[in-house]
């Protein structure tokens, strides 16, 4: 980090970084329905005022996987107001854009001669707006088709078992400064965790050294959207999984604002966690002030400047342990109510005192977490009725919890204790299923979790059908190979899933050189045509400037068995739904054949190094 001269703008990138805008959150709430849009409009206004080169978003632009028409219209209106103008774009994309942007047009939006884009927006997808369905489309694809957003980091899972991904950077130049922008849209954390620990499953393409621009001259940025808090090591991404050649990482998904870049010891890169621009989960981390980051890059040095967001609804959070309060009688509900009323009133007064002017005064969000161990509870809805018109969330001000009791000899938690009525809304159905002592032999719990999530949150009506069909297919395959004396006995378990099965099936195909990137061959021809024929636009890359070489991130923390691709199976099962009633068996066998397609060697375009 250095102080870059502000007057040297011809060689300095100015990037505004934000994540987790969650457009459309609480859109049916009369008080909070506009919060996400006001914050996003402020972010775009800051980008205009600071005259940044582009706006970089780290995922979860939308809160719903299928946003409503109202949400889409408002998002498009905001982007059109702030992004379409005559301001010249000062940087140039010099990589193969047909690889960077997987859409029909295959180039950055400001190069389209039919649009005047003055503020380019680059975005990956998050876990809320990730691609889904037969066509694997995201809500961000809609904005990309409207030429308002440059959607990158959309991975195509190749290979078998746990899968394989290849990250191609967007190479951009401004004067003497060169930036390689890597994007990794959200992938299920358990799967990506195993991919990072599987040899050659994650491959990084790097720019080749050329005259006037060596490999060391590139400033490498990674934008990703994954779990970072390691409550469960298998359900998060460790910073040490990432390659050391990276210089700066924008970490999305985590809503707590840790905007100041933190250096990771021994890795050589810095991480910024901008956090969300709207509070979606009323926890302690979301009560911190919200910011966006202005990132200035010159050469291999950068300067961060955090900018506070002023349109965010105030949020006050506190915790109370009733047994630590000496004036409360455990059997007297009125004394409990009186104490909680006093705490909530103080939080409201504290929030109102922070408003500079009366026009800035918004109804605050208030959350009080109450540890009621040894005490009786009260009705949270009835408690919040007296605060209607004083807070934005009167229905859920209080949340009750109990101190965890971890006994060495207690192997099973009493269901009556875990499923107390006042705590039902605080439980996660996946956690309840995972805690069960029952072990299913055919349907892995992890697969059912994914199917349930897709059915509820992504409106995927075929989720359970696809899950059942794929696991039936796997079971038949194991039984047939076992009967023929070819395969060994393999048992299903919730922990290891069916990784051993997929690994044994894929071992024959994966013995070939795994360091060569496999892509459909038509991409190579289209890339060649794109470099030779396109000459329009304000930043078309020079021919030959997009040469990349491949770096494979080898596993350093031990290897694990590969896991199959549930998403590929779901797509295959959807293709065969028309034949469901007539012949399920034949549909399953056809799906198994479809999963073996699409491995074409394209080593003539990309250079592979060990």
Residues that are catalytic: 128
Contact 378, 336 (CB under 8 A): yes
Residue whose C-alpha is closest to residue 314's, from 390, 248, 246: 390
DSSP state of 455: H
Measured from the Cβ of residue 287, the count of other Cβ atoms closer than 10 Å reads 18
Alpha helices in 84-238 (DSSP H): 97-100, 139-145, 189-196
Query: Tokens representing 510?
Result: 């994966």
Q: Give the DSSP H or E segment for 541.
A: none
Q: Which whole-number Å values give the CA distances from 550 to 6, 144, 167, 395, 553, in the listed order?
A: 36, 28, 9, 54, 10
SS3 449: helix
The span from the CA of 322 to the CA of 375, in Å, is 7
Q: Residue 208: phi, psi to the nearest 5?
A: -80, 150
Query: Tokens representing 41?
Result: 């409009």
Ordered DSSP codes for 505-563: HHTTGGGS-TTS-B--HHHHHHHHHHHHH---SS-PPPTTTT-EEEEE---SS------
Strand ranges, E, within 154-193 = 165-167, 170-174, 177-184
The residue assigned the tokens 């809320």 is 128
The residue assigned the tokens 């075929």 is 462
DSSP state of 24: T
Sequence-distant (6+) residues with CB within 8 A of 362 are: 313, 314, 355, 392
Ordered DSSP codes for 363-403: PPEEEEEEE-TTS----HHHHHGGGBTTBS-GGGSEEEE--
The span from the CA of 470 to the CA of 371, in Å, is 44
The span from the CA of 207 to the CA of 210, in Å, is 9
Measured from the Cβ of residue 306, the count of other Cβ atoms closer than 10 Å reads 16
DSSP state of 270: E
The span from the CA of 9 to the CA of 52, in Å, is 10
69-83 vs 35-49: helix axis angle to the nearest 10? Answer: 10
Q: Which whole-number Å values give the CA distances from 237 to 128, 404, 551, in the listed order?
A: 18, 26, 20
The residue assigned the tokens 């770096």 is 551
The span from the CA of 468 to the CA of 465, in Å, is 5
Residue whose C-alpha is closest to residue 186's, from 17, 16, 20: 20
The residue assigned the tokens 């905007």 is 259
Query: Tokens representing 572?
Result: 């295959």
């Amino acid at each position: 980090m250095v102080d870059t001269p502000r007057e040297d703008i011809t060689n300095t990138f100015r990037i505004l970084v934000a994540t987790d805008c969650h457009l459309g959150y609480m859109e049916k709430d009369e008080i909070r329905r506009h919060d996400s849009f006001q914050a996003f409009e402020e972010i775009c206004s800051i980008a205009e005022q600071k005259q940044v080169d582009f706006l970089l978003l780290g995922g979860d632009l939308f809160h719903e996987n299928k946003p409503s028409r109202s949400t889409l219209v408002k998002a498009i209106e905001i982007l059109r107001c702030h992004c379409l103008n005559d301001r010249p774009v000062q940087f140039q994309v010099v990589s193969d854009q047909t690889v960077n942007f997987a859409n029909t047009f295959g180039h950055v939006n400001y190069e389209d001669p039919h649009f005047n884009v003055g503020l380019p927006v680059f975005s990956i997808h998050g876990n809320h707006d990730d691609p889904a369905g037969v066509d694997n489309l995201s809500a961000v694809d809609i904005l990309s088709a409207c030429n308002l957003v440059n959607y990158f980091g959309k991975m195509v899972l190749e290979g078998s078992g746990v899968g394989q991904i290849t990250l191609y950077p967007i190479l951009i130049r401004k004067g003497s400064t060169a930036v390689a922008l890597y994007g990794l849209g959200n992938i299920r954390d358990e799967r990506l965790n195993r991919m990072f620990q599987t040899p050659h499953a994650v491959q990084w393409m790097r720019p080749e050294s050329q005259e006037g621009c060596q490999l060391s001259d590139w400033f490498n940025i990674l934008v990703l959207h994954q779990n970072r808090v390691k409550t469960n090591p298998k359900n998060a991404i460790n910073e040490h999984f990432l390659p050391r050649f990276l210089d700066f990482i924008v970490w999305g998904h985590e809503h707590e604002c840790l905007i100041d870049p933190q250096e990771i010891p021994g890795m050589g890169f810095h991480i910024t966690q901008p956090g969300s621009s709207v509070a979606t989960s009323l926890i302690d981390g979301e009560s911190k002030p919200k910011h966006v980051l202005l990132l200035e890059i010159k050469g291999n040095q950068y300067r961060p400047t955090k900018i506070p967001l002023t349109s965010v609804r105030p949020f006050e959070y506190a915790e109370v342990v009733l047994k630590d309060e000496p004036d409360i009688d455990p059997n007297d509900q009125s004394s409990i109510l009186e104490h909680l009323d006093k705490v909530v009133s103080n939080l409201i007064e504290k929030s109102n005192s922070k408003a500079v002017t009366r026009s800035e005064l918004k109804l605050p969000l208030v959350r009080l977490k109450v540890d009621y161990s040894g005490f009786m509870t009260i009705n949270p809805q009835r408690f919040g009725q007296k605060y209607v018109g004083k807070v934005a969330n009167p229905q859920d001000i209080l949340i009750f919890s109990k101190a965890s009791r971890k006994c060495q000899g207690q192997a099973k938690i009493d269901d009556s204790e875990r499923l107390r009525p006042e705590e039902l809304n605080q439980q996660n159905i996946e956690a309840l299923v995972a805690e069960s002592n029952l072990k299913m032999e055919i349907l892995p719990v992890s697969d059912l979790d994914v199917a349930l999530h897709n059915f509820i949150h992504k409106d995927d009506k075929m989720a359970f059908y696809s899950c059942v069909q794929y696991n039936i297919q796997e079971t038949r395959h194991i039984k047939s190979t076992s009967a023929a004396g070819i395969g060994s006995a393999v048992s299903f378990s919730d922990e290891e899933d069916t990784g051993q099965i997929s690994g044994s099936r894929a071992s024959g195909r994966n013995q070939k050189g795994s360091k060569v990137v496999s892509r459909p061959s038509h991409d190579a021809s289209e890339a060649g045509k794109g470099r030779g024929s396109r000459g329009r636009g304000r930043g078309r890359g020079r021919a030959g400037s997009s040469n990349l070489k491949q770096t494979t991130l080898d596993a350093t923390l031990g290897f694990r068995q590969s896991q199959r691709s549930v998403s590929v199976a779901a797509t295959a099962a959807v293709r065969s739904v028309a034949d469901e009633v007539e012949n399920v068996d034949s549909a399953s066998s056809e799906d198994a054949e479809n999963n073996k397609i699409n491995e074409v060697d394209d080593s003539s375009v990309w250079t592979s190094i060990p």
